[in-house]
Structure 1
Amino acid sequence: MREIKGGYIDGRWTESAASGRIDVTNPATGQVIGRAPLGCKDDVAFAVAAASNAFADWAALPVAERIAILRRARDGIAARGEEMATLITEQMGTPIGFSKAAQIGLPLRNFDVTLAAMEDIAGEEVSLGRSRIVRDPVGVVAAITPWNFPLHQIVAKVVPALLAGCTVVLKPSELTPFDAAVFAEILHDAGVPAGVFNLIFGGADTGAALVEHRDVDMVSFTGSTRAGRSIAAVAGGKLKKVSLELGGKSANILLDDVDFDKVVPAVLGQCFVNAGQTCAALTRLIVPARHKERVEQLAAQFIEAWQPGDPSQPDTPMGPLASSTQQARVKRKVAVAQIEGARIVAGGGELPESLSDGAYMAPVVLSDVHPDMEIAREEVFGPVLCILTHEGDEDAARMANDSEYGLSGGVWSADEERAVAVARRMRTGQVVLNGAMLDLEAPFGGVKQSGLGREYGRHGIEEFFNLKAITRP
């Protein structure tokens, strides 16, 4: 049983001022595997004060020294990668193979890209007219991260903020506190000065206190659109800078020239990876109307490759959902979709008795889905794929844009230029062509109700600067 008694604040571990504890549950077994502090306003105040006091010296530190410290931190994650992958699997149920490849692999790659981008930025001198343009670090950053890619999201916020010269208070999800604690140990061992990075724990109340604190200059948040709206409202009242990476209901468009036998297995993976608990999951599959039955048949054929199982086994493709609450929520959405007229054409069957104690759910493909159905409009965050139909390229792009979200998207075509033409019409933060993998050098973020700001690489670092013009006579 793991026990975290307090946060990492001002360079040391300190017991939380709150007496309450949050149970951390393994969703594969339903068993409590540890506890973390509930957190409170006193913890927030202590951490923000430490970050405020450390800011001036950290911002003044030469960029090369900040880079060197963070490079040591990157190596620390690599050295403890197996340990952290296991912790992530135990906390939120993602299969151990995926944990090692993606839950650890992505943060390491993100570190490399961000460090290289900071080296480029540090070497730049920008002049416009009679002015020299200077990048100033924003100040104290509140980083609030989710449970679905816990370490990856921590790295995507904390590393660029620190490299830019900001100080940070991190509040991870209460579902996944243990990898964050290891991350704090790694930064400490890498030589991050006291107060520059601080870690507190807790739920929504702790997060709200952090957002509201007067000495927090910027909030970087990844999570639900509902929570993002609340954060934006509070931050707007105090004119804090915000970066919000929120929900999605992203469209995956198949044009009529694709090889459906090859493409359909891939699009199932674009939806079902990480049990569908991915903000950029491509959950609306928009296919040519005359090929709908063929797509349904192929989905039924290939969905067997995504049957859930024990996440501790290296060959398991999909684990449980992150909690029983999440499991119930996703199942309710599938039930509502059927009431509204959607039809299960693949998956959705009973699971083995051996999985009954966990938050498991069989993957589902729904067809006869219309754009006005709840399942086509609301984020599900589970292994549920919806099939909709289009009557051509223009119609497909129109359907993709018929959403309040705009985080990601996909287009498949045998003609890449045709795919690019459709992608250009889509109102979203990114579009992947023909199953392309995530590019961590490119900016990532949403439009519409999917958020504000960008993460990764140069664009991710730029979020943590304010521009200042120094003008000569």
Structure 2
Amino acid sequence: MPVAEPAAHLLDKPALWIGPEALTETSGGRIAHVYAATGRPTGEVVLAGPAEIDAAVSLARAAWPQWRDATADARRDTLLRLADLIVAQAAELSQLQSLEIGLPVQLARQMPALAADQLRYYAGWCDKVGGDVVPTWPIRGLDYTLDEPYGVVGGIIPWNGTLMAMAQLLGPALAAGNAVVVKPSELAPFVAPRIARLAVQAGVPEGVVVVVPGGAEAGRALVAHPEVDKVHFTGSTATGRAVLAAAAPTLTPVALELGGKSAHLVFGDADVRFAARIAMSGAVALAGQGCANGTRLLVHESVREQIVETVLARLRRVPFGDPANERTVLGPVVSEASCRRILGVLARARAEGVTLLTGGDRAGGDLADGFFVEPTVVADVAPDSELVQEEIFGPVLTVQTFGSEEEAIALANGTRYGLGAYLHTNDLRRTHRVARALASGSVWVNGAPGLLPSAPFGGVKQSGFGRIGGVAGLREFLRPKNVWIPA
């Protein structure tokens, strides 16, 4: 069946909102948003440029003291109301999330509740932010710390799940008492402005949350702005380097959540069927476009055939296609450029002699006009190959075999990334040994719980630094001030 067109009523007339002002002509110009499932434009998007970034930061700077000085219980209750509003408007928000990037509606419908959980978790921290009393010696006195907000936070969020990305940023940043200027990707410009308007409806003062969709020029202007006190960036490693360079002249502190190349390590004593299901999700979830997706399958030689056969059998049954279909699990990748890039990587891998077990091409038939890449599994991949070393960000799973625990760890750690790892074993001692040895910010054992609000998430090596989630995520948006008073 042909892919359904998105509902036109979801889209506002093109405008960019800075506070109550709707701008239709900007220094960033306009861009056509293209629906990934059909390859056809849905309408125009007004983009921020340097002038709009400057106006947004100025508005946030002026509004910030009102939020900073609000009582802790007032901030707490406001975040709780925002969570409730997101749940109340879940149907529309999930449709917008699906429209932005072609996310299957089955998955998009889970996002509002998950986003609300993030906000509720951090609402609970609002009245617990304080400081410490510090012992002093050799001079007696009272020494204590104050946990203070930075001021204006510049947040650059990714396109692969705007609703969750907004909640993960706004929850801790607002709980800490900051104002936030958010730049979502031009590829995903619809959800974030709606959240900003819901924030005002919930009681966040106008200007404390400003959303300015834009491209690379807008991102550079936000990071380099002298009135931005902290930058939080989520995206590719290459762009993360550019963010650091742009922040260097003003010495603006930066937190980076960057790319990943997470491995599934499956040992011989693992639950084969369960491990295969979790491993398969690395290629299927978000069409493989998740930074923490496990896209490298490292299998002990004793269970390789079982695991691979089970993964392939499950993958061939995955409903693939129209995001609006209630059954669809795997949808398109985000853009024509992404589609071509992924297919280019696969073409080069074929030329190197890898074994293509399934997929590897662009989907045809009713899906031919959209950005659909077949779910793909590739075996006999060299450790130094592009497929193993580079973040593909598509529905591609590689298979490698190991014979010993040491070899498994070496393969898992053998990339420049260190965001996540998935470990499948029923040996508790091995679990502790391997988890300690893996160079990654997170290790998930015998399961994939997603990004829990209470748990820190972030990377090591070239997957970045800084954390979102848990008390560590809150600390990213606070800085301590020391006060000493003589006895």
Query: Scaled by the length of structure 1, what TM-score is found?
Result: 0.95
Query: Hey, what does 1:465 align to over in structure 2?
Result: 478
Q: Quick check: 1:267 aligned with 2:279?
A: yes
Which structure 2 residues correspond to residues 16-415 of structure 1 after superposition, within 5 A?
16-18=25-27, 20-101=29-110, 103-121=111-129, 125-129=132-136, 130-348=142-360, 351-415=363-427
In structure 1, C-alpha distance between the alignment counterparts of 2:370 and 2:96, rounded to whole Å: 17
Query: Hey, what does 2:468 align to over in structure 1?
Result: 455
Q: Which moved more, 1:257-266 or 1:203-212?
A: 257-266
8 Å contact kept, 1:66–1:163 = yes
8 Å contact kept, 1:300–1:347 = no
Superposed CA offset, 1:61-112 (max 9, x none): 21211111121111111111110100111110111010011x3232122112
In structure 2, C-alpha distance between the alignment counterparts of 1:28 and 1:257, rounded to whole Å: 41
SS at match of 1:283: strand
In structure 2, C-alpha distance between the alignment counterparts of 1:193 and 1:16, rounded to whole Å: 25
In structure 1, C-alpha distance between the alignment counterparts of 2:397 and 2:201, rounded to whole Å: 44
8 Å contact kept, 2:60–2:208 = yes
In structure 2, C-alpha distance between the alignment counterparts of 1:446 and 1:267, rounded to whole Å: 20
Q: 1:5 deviation in Å?
A: 4.0
Query: Hey, what does 2:139 align to over in structure 1?
Result: none
The one-letter amino acid of 1:433's match is V
In structure 2, C-alpha distance between the alignment counterparts of 1:428 and 1:363, rounded to whole Å: 26
In structure 1, C-alpha distance between the alignment counterparts of 2:133 and 2:373, rounded to whole Å: 53
8 Å contact kept, 1:321–1:361 = yes
8 Å contact kept, 2:442–2:458 = yes
Specify every segment of 5 or more residues in structure 1 that has no aligned partner in the other structure, as ranges: none
In structure 1, C-alpha distance between the alignment counterparts of 2:103 and 2:135, rounded to whole Å: 49
Q: 1:335 deviation in Å?
A: 1.3
Cα distance change, pair 189–442 in 1 and its aligned pair in 2 (3 A): same
SS at match of 1:375: helix
8 Å contact kept, 1:264–1:299 = yes
Cα distance change, pair 258–65 in 1 and its aligned pair in 2 (3 A): same
Q: 1:259 deviation in Å?
A: 3.0
The one-letter amino acid of 1:46's match is A
Query: Hey, what does 2:4 align to over in structure 1?
Result: none
In structure 1, C-alpha distance between the alignment counterparts of 2:80 and 2:99, rounded to whole Å: 27
Q: 1:11 deviation in Å?
A: 4.7
In structure 2, C-alpha distance between the alignment counterparts of 1:187 and 1:34, rounded to whole Å: 25
In structure 2, C-alpha distance between the alignment counterparts of 1:140 and 1:154, rounded to whole Å: 16
SS at match of 2:448: coil
In structure 1, C-alpha distance between the alignment counterparts of 2:419 and 2:306, rounded to whole Å: 28
In structure 2, C-alpha distance between the alignment counterparts of 1:315 and 1:386, rounded to whole Å: 26
SS at match of 1:131: strand
The one-letter amino acid of 1:444's match is F
Q: 1:182 deviation in Å?
A: 1.1
In structure 2, C-alpha distance between the alignment counterparts of 1:199 and 1:297, rounded to whole Å: 46
Q: 1:19 deviation in Å?
A: 6.9
Superposed CA offset, 1:179-213 (max 9, x none): 11211210121121122111212111111111111
Query: Scaled by the length of structure 2, what TM-score is found?
Result: 0.93
Specify every segment of 5 or more residues in structure 2 that has no aligned partner in the other structure, as ranges: 1-7, 137-141
CA RMSD of aligned residues (A): 1.7
The one-letter amino acid of 2:269's match is D
In structure 2, C-alpha distance between the alignment counterparts of 1:312 and 1:126, rounded to whole Å: 55
8 Å contact kept, 1:3–1:34 = no
Query: Hey, what does 1:442 align to over in structure 2?
Result: 455
Q: Which moved more, 1:225-234 or 1:49-58?
A: 49-58
In structure 1, C-alpha distance between the alignment counterparts of 2:28 and 2:145, rounded to whole Å: 48
The one-letter amino acid of 1:89's match is S
Q: What is the count of residue pairs matched by the alignment?
A: 471
In structure 2, C-alpha distance between the alignment counterparts of 1:48 and 1:341, rounded to whole Å: 52
In structure 2, C-alpha distance between the alignment counterparts of 1:162 and 1:410, rounded to whole Å: 32
The one-letter amino acid of 1:336's match is R
8 Å contact kept, 2:284–2:375 = yes
Q: 1:386 deviation in Å?
A: 0.6
